[in-house]
C-alpha cells in the first residue's frame, strides 16, 4: 500500500545532531550523566529541528472500537458492552487515563472509531464511527480493504486536526474488548513470531480460558494462512480493529507533521508495527513510553529495536503509559533549555588534557 496521506513521512534531518549533543554535553554535569533523559532531549530537539524545543498542548487520543470476535466469548472474559461503558467512563473523567492525564497536564480526546453503541451527538467525543464493530475474523476479514484504508484516512484527519490546533505531542491509546487478540494476530504475522509468544491475559484471561484464547487465535491464523510477507494493509484489514486502523493512520500523519508520537502499550505498539512497515522513518518521531506486562509487548519492542522509557508492570492500555512518561519529556526539555552551561554558570569544565 502506498502512503495516501497529505505528504510522505520524511527521513529526519541530522544536520543539528552534533549541535544538540554539544549543547547537552556543555551543561553543568558530566556528559551522559542524566542517561535516558539526555537521549529524550536529543530526540525531541531533532524532531522539532531546534536547539530549544517545546511541548505544546499535549494530548492523549483514546481510540475505541469493538471486535466481532468478542461476541463469541472465546477470547475475552468481559462482555463486549464494556467497551461503550468504558467510553462513557472516559467522558465522565472517571478512568485511569483521566486521572493520570489531569495530574500531568495532558488533555484526553476520546474517539469513537467503531463502538457497538449509538452515542448521542452532543457528547464530547470525536464521532468517527466506521461501523458498529468489526466482523468476526473466525469466518472472514474483520473489515474489507477499502474500509481499512478509510479508517486509516480518518485517523489521519483526526490527528491533523489536533495538530492544527497547536499540539505537537500526541499519545496514542485505545479501548476495545478483544483488541489484544487483534494485536496478537497482527504482531505474530508481521514479526513472524509464534502466537504462543504473543497472546497474553488481555482483560483477565487466565488458566484454561487463556489456553482457549490461544487455541482460538491459532485456528484463526491457520484459517487465513497469511505469511509475514503479506501486504501489511491486508494483515490489518483481516485481523485489525477500527481503533487500531485509525491509530495507524494517526501515527503516520503525526510523523508527517513532525509531531512527537507517544506509543502506549501492546495494542498501540501493534498499530505502530503496521505504520512502521508502511513507513519505517516514523520510528524517529516515536517515543515508546513503557514496557507493558502483556506477554507479547517485549518481543514486539525487540522486533522494532525500541527502548521504552518506563517499566511499571502496567497492562491497562487507554494511553496510561503516555501520561506516566510525559513528565520525563518535560524534564528532558527543561534540561536542554533551562540548565546552565559551564560557561554561563562560571563552573570549571572537564580538563582537555
Distance CA 268, CA 185 (A): 14
From the number of C-beta atoms within 10 Å of its C-beta (0-12, 13-18, 19+), residue 139 rates as exposed
Over the stretch 95-113, which tens digit does the pLDDT of each residue have? 999 999 999 999 999 999 9
What is the pLDDT averaged over residues 191-217? 88
What is the pLDDT averaged over residues 233-258? 97
Over the stretch 25-70, which tens digit does the pLDDT of each residue have? 999 999 999 999 999 999 999 999 999 999 999 999 999 999 999 9
Q: Report residue 165 CA to chain centroid gap.
A: 20
- pLDDT at residue 183 in the model: 97
- What 3-state class would DSSP assign to 329? helix
Has 219 been annotated as catalytic?
no
What is the pLDDT averaged over residues 284-300? 95
- pLDDT at residue 208 in the model: 83
**Are the CB atoms for 285 and 260 separated by under 8 Å?**
yes
- pLDDT at residue 4 in the model: 45
**Per annotation, catalytic residue among 174, 229, 318, 338:** 318
What is the pLDDT averaged over residues 268-280? 97
Q: What is the mean pLDDT of the chain?
A: 94
- What 3-state class would DSSP assign to 260? strand
Which residues share a beta bridge with 286? Answer: 261
- pLDDT at residue 60 in the model: 98
- pLDDT at residue 352 in the model: 60
**Are the CB atoms for 29 and 324 separated by under 8 Å?**
no
Distance CA 100, CA 290 (A): 15
Extract the C-alpha cell encoding 23.
Answer: 549543547
Over the stretch 205-243, which tens digit does the pLDDT of each residue have? 778 888 999 999 999 999 999 999 999 999 999 999 999
- pLDDT at residue 263 in the model: 98
- pLDDT at residue 6 in the model: 44
Distance CA 302, CA 11 (A): 22
- pLDDT at residue 343 in the model: 85
What is the pLDDT averaged over residues 137-145? 98
- pLDDT at residue 3 in the model: 45
What is the pLDDT averaged over residues 287-305? 96
- Asked whether residue 204 carries a pLDDT value surpassing 90, the answer given is no
Residues whose CB is less than 8 angstroms from the CB of residue 213 and which lie 6 or more positions away in sequence, other chains included: 74, 75, 76, 181, 199, 202, 205
What is the pLDDT averaged over residues 278-287? 96
Beta strands at 126-127 and 260-263: parallel, antiparallel or unpaired: unpaired
Of residues 76 and 241, more confidence is placed in: 241
Amino acid at each position: 500500500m502506498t502512503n495516501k496521506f497529505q505528504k510522505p513521512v520524511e527521513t529526519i534531518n541530522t544536520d543539528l545532531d552534533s549541535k544538540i549533543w554539544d549543547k547537552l554535553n556543555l551543561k553543568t554535569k558530566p556528559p551522559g550523566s542524566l542517561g535516558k533523559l539526555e537521549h529524550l532531549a536529543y530526540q525531541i530537539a531533532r524532531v522539532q529541528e531546534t536547539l530549544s524545543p517545546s511541548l505544546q498542548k499535549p494530548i492523549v487520543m483514546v481510540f475505541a472500537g469493538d471486535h466481532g470476535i468478542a461476541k463469541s466469548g472465546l477470547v475475552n472474559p468481559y462482555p463486549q458492552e464494556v467497551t461503550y461503558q468504558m467510553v462513557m467512563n472516559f467522558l465522565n473523567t472517571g478512568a485511569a487515563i483521566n486521572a493520570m492525564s489531569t495530574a500531568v497536564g495532558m488533555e484526553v480526546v476520546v474517539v469513537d472509531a467503531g463502538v457497538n453503541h449509538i452515542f448521542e451527538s452532543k457528547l464530547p467525543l470525536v464521532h468517527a464511527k466506521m461501523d458498529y464493530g468489526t466482523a468476526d475474523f473466525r469466518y472472514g476479514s474483520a473489515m474489507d480493504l477499502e474500509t481499512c484504508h478509510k479508517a486509516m484516512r480518518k485517523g489521519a484527519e483526526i490527528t491533523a486536526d489536533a495538530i492544527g490546533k497547536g499540539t505537537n505531542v500526541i499519545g496514542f491509546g485505545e479501548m476495545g474488548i478483544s483488541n489484544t487478540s487483534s494485536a496478537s494476530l497482527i504482531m505474530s504475522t508481521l514479526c513472524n513470531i509464534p502466537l504462543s509468544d504473543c497472546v497474553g491475559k488481555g482483560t483477565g484471561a487466565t488458566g484454561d480460558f487463556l489456553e482457549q484464547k490461544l487455541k482460538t487465535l491459532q485456528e484463526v491464523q491457520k484459517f487465513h494462512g497469511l505469511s509475514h510477507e503479506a501486504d501489511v494493509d491486508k494483515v490489518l484489514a483481516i485481523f485489525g480493529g477500527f481503533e487500531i486502523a485509525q491509530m495507524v493512520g494517526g501515527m503516520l500523519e503525526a510523523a508527517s507533521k513532525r509531531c512527537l508520537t507517544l506509543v502506549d502499550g501492546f495494542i498501540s505498539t501493534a498499530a505502530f508495527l503496521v505504520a512502521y512497515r508502511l513507513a519505517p522513518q516514523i520510528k524517529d518521531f516515536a517515543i515508546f513510553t513503557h514496557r507493558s506486562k502483556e506477554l507479547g509487548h517485549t518481543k514486539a519492542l525487540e522486533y522494532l529495536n525500541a527502548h521504552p522509557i518506563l517499566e511499571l508492570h502496567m497492562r491497562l492500555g487507554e494511553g496510561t503509559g503516555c501520561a506516566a512518561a510525559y513528565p520525563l519529556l518535560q524534564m528532558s526539555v527543561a534540561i536542554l533549555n533551562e540548565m546552565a552551561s559551564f560557561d554561563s554558570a562560571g563552573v570549571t569544565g572537564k580538563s582537555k588534557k
